[in-house]
Chain A
Amino acid sequence: MEARRKWIQLAVLAALIAVLPFFFPSGYYYRVGALIFVNGLSVIGLVILIGYAGQISLGHAGFAGIGAYACALGPQHLGLHPGLALILGAVISGLLALLIGRPILRLKGYYLAVATLGFGILVSMLLTNERALTGGPDGISVEDLGLRALLRDLGWRISGGEFWYGASGIALLVGAWLALNLFDSPTGRAMRSLHGSEVAASTVGIDVARQKLRAFVISAVYASVAGSLLALQNGFITPDVAGFMHSIEMVTMAVLGGVGSVLGATLGAAILTLLPQVLTVFAEYEQLVLGAVMILVMIFLPQGLLPSIARRLRGRGE
């Protein structure tokens, strides 16, 4: 039954990704779509951390920053292929999460929030201040992945927007698949049990610290890969990718859509990514609207959009 639900969710997601382009009024929307998918990917990582394991992080943009700058600096300084740089970034993020996760995850609630927040700020400060290496606050350009050129040589001509729409869409699908697998697995159950009661979890043999650490590392890798994809598709990156506001945006996307739900998180990512696009005409109102949305959703749909809607639909069906 669980397995069927997993494939339904993946099928819905895949269908949406495949069908949406038919409704795009212009090529520009491929860019927006790709951005949604990349944000969705990092937010799925947070679903694992916040939704499954019940741990908060206000510093996950730090890992996105590491992934992004790995793709910028790896090719430049180490002569790495950008694709390998993405993997290197993921490995660094994972190891770093492993290292700092152990002491940080002993903290609870607001203390955990401030510790993760501190970590994120430290990363973004390093990226901003180490001008010689990172180019400082003005950002740095990122080498092309080269995959599109390869496709062209094989006779398949697509625009940059189309390519990144497809590539990020596939990355999102893979990320969703892994997260859904995890949900209905021994590890996933162990993580989710922490959410319910850490004491009970430990008395049934679950190593609480270890499961938290796993969720933290996995979500860090998600954020890092998403950061790398963002850097690669933009061809340019600034330290803002690691900034406090980006961390907050990620958490808000997750909570907005429904923090326990992979599809919900993607929906949250879509809404918050589209919001500024929709509001471009009223750019001054963007913050006002964003703040109001955050408050209203938390008050009226505390489970997040998708689970609340699903619950309402189910309620009517019965």
Chain B
Amino acid sequence: MDALLQFIFSGVTVGAVYALVALGFTIIYNASDVVNFAQGEFVMLGGMITVFAHQAGLPLPLAALLAILATAAIGVALNKLAIEPARGAPVVSLIIITIGASILIRGAAQLIFDKQLHRFPAFSGDDPIRVMGATILPQSLWVIGGALVVFFGLWLFFTRTLTGKAVLATANNRVAAQLVGINTSWVMTLSFGLSAAIGALAGVLVTPITLVAYDVGVGLALKGFAAAMLGGMGNPKGALVGGLALGLLEAMTAGYLSSQYKDAVAFIVILAVLFVMPQGIFGKKSTERV
């Protein structure tokens, strides 16, 4: 029982990170139909920039803020320099472009920073909190809380604000959105900035637990992508549920079956889900128009 609870704690913590990455995927996908494989690099940048800014003498909160803002700017640049010029390109080209961007960012990070593993102190210390025989790190609570705040923040943004509704309208029908006067180019910029900022926030929150290095992005991008697909691409609720489900699944597999194959089981489940529900769990079914 204690073991189970322990696995749940660790599963929810990783799951929250996956959910944040998946939310980042979702925002960009909604605004532009692009799956941004560089999403994992945003997480890496969030962690790395914070580390180096902190080392340079900035207080941690300020360093984190700087990291989030800088990453958001990189996200916007990615959109302006690589995505917008390729508007209307086939899916394969877009996949190559964003994977190219992820390799480029990784290469740059390796040059500008280094190849070492880094961390900075946890926000509220490292003393585990005991809950019913299991323990959880205070930083895990930060991660989980962060994911929830971002999710509800996005929910409010999309349902309560005019800008958020403009993003949704663009996702729904780009041309119609333009016709009613929405600046879809601004919506894209906003989406990339927001999505990069969320990724960076995830990096800031999780670095004290998992550490960060220039190459942590690939794995996170794959898992976040998988989580988003599991939940149904383009659906924020799906991203949250998909991320948490994936995290729990991995933790349970690592705990009860084999830690070597924890990543494998995630992909097996995804394959199984896609075989049964080709649109993901929350994806809508529709008849393609001819």
- Give residues of chain B (98-112) contacting chain A, Cβ–Cβ below 8 Å: 99-108, 110-111
A286 touching B278 in the complex, CB below 8 Å, given contacts A121-B263, A125-B261: no
| Chain B residue total in the interface (Cβ 8 A) | 46
Further contacts, 13 of them, CB under 8 A, given A117-B222, A122-B267:
A56-B91, A107-B278, A115-B274, A118-B268, A118-B270, A119-B271, A121-B222, A125-B261, A255-B96, A284-B111, A291-B100, A292-B100, A292-B104
A157 within 8 A of B: no
Q: Which residues of A contact B110 (CB under 8 A)?
A: 284, 287
Q: Looking across the interface, which residue of chain B has its beta carbon closest to that of A51?
A: B92
**Is B89 at the interface (CB under 8 A from chain A)?**
yes
Residue contact A56 to B100, C-beta cutoff 8 Å: no
Interface residues of A (CB under 8 A from B): 50, 56, 58, 103-104, 106-111, 113-115, 117-119, 121-122, 125-126, 129, 199, 244-245, 248, 251-252, 255, 259, 284-295, 298-299, 302
Judge if B43 is at the interface, Cβ distance under 8 Å.
no
Q: How far is A285 from B111 in the complex, measured between Cα atoms in Å?
A: 8
In contact, B278 and A285 (Cβ under 8 angstroms): no
Offer 15 A-B interface pairs, CB within 8 angstroms, sorted by A.
A56-B91, A115-B270, A121-B263, A121-B264, A125-B261, A244-B222, A255-B92, A284-B111, A290-B103, A292-B100, A292-B104, A295-B82, A295-B104, A298-B86, A298-B100
Nearest-Cβ distance from residue B273 to partner chain A, whole angstroms:
10
A299 lies within 8 A of B99 (CB): no
| B263 touching A125, Cβ below 8 Å | yes
Is the contact region of chain A dominated by helix, strand, or loop, or is it mixed?
helix
The answer to whether B226 and A114 touch across the interface, beta carbons within 8 angstroms, is yes
| Interface contact tally, CB-CB below 8 A | 131
**B245 interface residue (CB < 8 Å to A):** no
| Contact status B104-A291, CB under 8 Å | yes
B100:A295 contact, CB within 8 angstroms: yes
B166 at the binding interface (Cβ < 8 Å): no
Q: Give the chain A neighbours of B154 by CB distance below 8 A.
A: none
